[in-house]
Amino acid sequence: MGAESGGIKPPRQLLDRWGRVAKDLRISVTDRCNLRCSYCLPEDADTWIPRQDLLTPREFGRLAQVALSLGIRKVRLTGGEPLLRPDLEEIIRKIRQAFIEADLPAEIALTTNAIGLATRIDSLVEAGLGRINISLDTLDPDRYFALAKRDRFSEVAAALEKLPGSGLDPVKLNSVILDQKSLEELPDLVRFALRRGFQWRAIEFMPIGPLGGSAAVRPHASDIFRRLQECFTLTSIETDPAAPARRWNVAAGSDYPAGIIGVIASESAPFCASCDRTRLSANGRVYSCLFSLSFVDLLAPLRQGASNEELAQLWLSAQAAKPAGHTEITAERRTYSLSQIGG
């Protein structure tokens, strides 16, 4: 064992027993976060991945090589909060290098709360970042503090003003629709996004995390759609069956341009049947599904000198066991946060 260049014979695919093929890799680069959104990471959260178990940029690059050899074509970095990694640019560089070596166009995206982004946009773009999703549930600083338990709204706002023209395209603003207040604020969020040339997406609350048990009483995609229709002129856009969002073109209004919005209805219209994702946690565990507690560990074999071929075999076995859908969620899973696997 030991060669980083262990030969891998393409074409191979991350196929599961239901016939789905993974092409989209979500990588969590850390489980830590600088916010404490009550529905995601409670204030008393105290179980973190030990620092020495966090994958290094070089290790992320190596696992990206393996994933690309198995048919992965897009990589999204998430967390926890990925910008908490001071070496995020280096992680992106290593993953881009893996795309280049595989002779593939680099498709690297980031999901972030945008705290600290304002000063790093240029370095992230220079490293190879192509697209970005910003999570922002409200434009009201008081509500932001109430939801996220941290007074950081002004830093997010500063980053959002710097994104137009930054080279990141598209920029998507993602808002979890938590309650009646979220529904009321939804038109402001849409207009805010369209004025800056961003896409906007509503995320239906998922039964996962500390408040997971309350999903049934949260607004559903039908409530979100009704509210959108009340406020905007929408034309449906044909979407890729594997895409999680249902999308619409929004006609321009008197004080905002035309643009694109979407609703991710993971609960009321789960897209599990066409899910094309596989997930790598910050400590090198492959999860085939966001809602699954089972994983295959790559960290130990990687650090013990496994070849790319051996790592590929482990990844194939993890993906083969992907559950059919969210119905297999256990009560135990609900107590875990999205920030642990990578939302």
Residues that bind ligand SAM in the complex, under the rule CB under 6 A = 33, 39-40, 78-79, 81, 111-113, 135, 174, 176, 203, 205-206, 208-209, 212, 338-339, 343
In this complex, which beta carbon is closest to ligand SAM, that of residue 208 or of residue 296? 208
Q: Is 140 exposed, middle or buried (0-12, 13-18, 19+ CB in 10 A)?
A: middle
Smallest distance from ligand SAM to CB 135, Å: 3
Smallest distance from ligand SAM to CB 115, Å: 9
- Tokens linked to 92: 């992106």
Cα distance between residue 163 and residue 112, in whole Å: 13
| Three-class HEC string of 220-236 | CHHHHHHHHHHHCCEEE
In this complex, which beta carbon is closest to ligand SAM, that of residue 66 or of residue 115? 115
- Tokens linked to 169: 């395209």
Smallest distance from ligand SAM to CB 174, Å: 5
DSSP code for 328: G
In this complex, which beta carbon is closest to ligand SAM, that of residue 203 or of residue 306? 203
Residue 338: which of 125, 135, 109, 131 has the closest Cα?
135
Are the beta carbons of 137 and 147 closer than 8 angstroms? yes
In this complex, which beta carbon is closest to ligand SAM, that of residue 135 or of residue 182? 135
In this complex, which beta carbon is closest to ligand SAM, that of residue 255 or of residue 332? 332
Smallest distance from ligand SAM to CB 205, Å: 5
Which amino acid would we find at residue 70? L
Backbone angles phi, psi at 45, to 5 degrees: -60, 130
In this complex, which beta carbon is closest to ligand SAM, that of residue 71 or of residue 80? 80
Residue 116: which of 169, 79, 146 has the closest Cα?
79
Cα distance between residue 140 and residue 142, in whole Å: 6
Residue 37: which of 167, 159, 138 has the closest Cα?
138
In this complex, which beta carbon is closest to ligand SAM, that of residue 159 or of residue 206? 206
Q: Which residue is nearest to ligand SAM (CB)?
A: 343
Are the beta carbons of 315 and 70 closer than 8 angstroms? yes
For tokens 């599961």, the residue is: 16
Query: Residue 308, Cα to own-chain centre: how many angstroms?
Result: 25
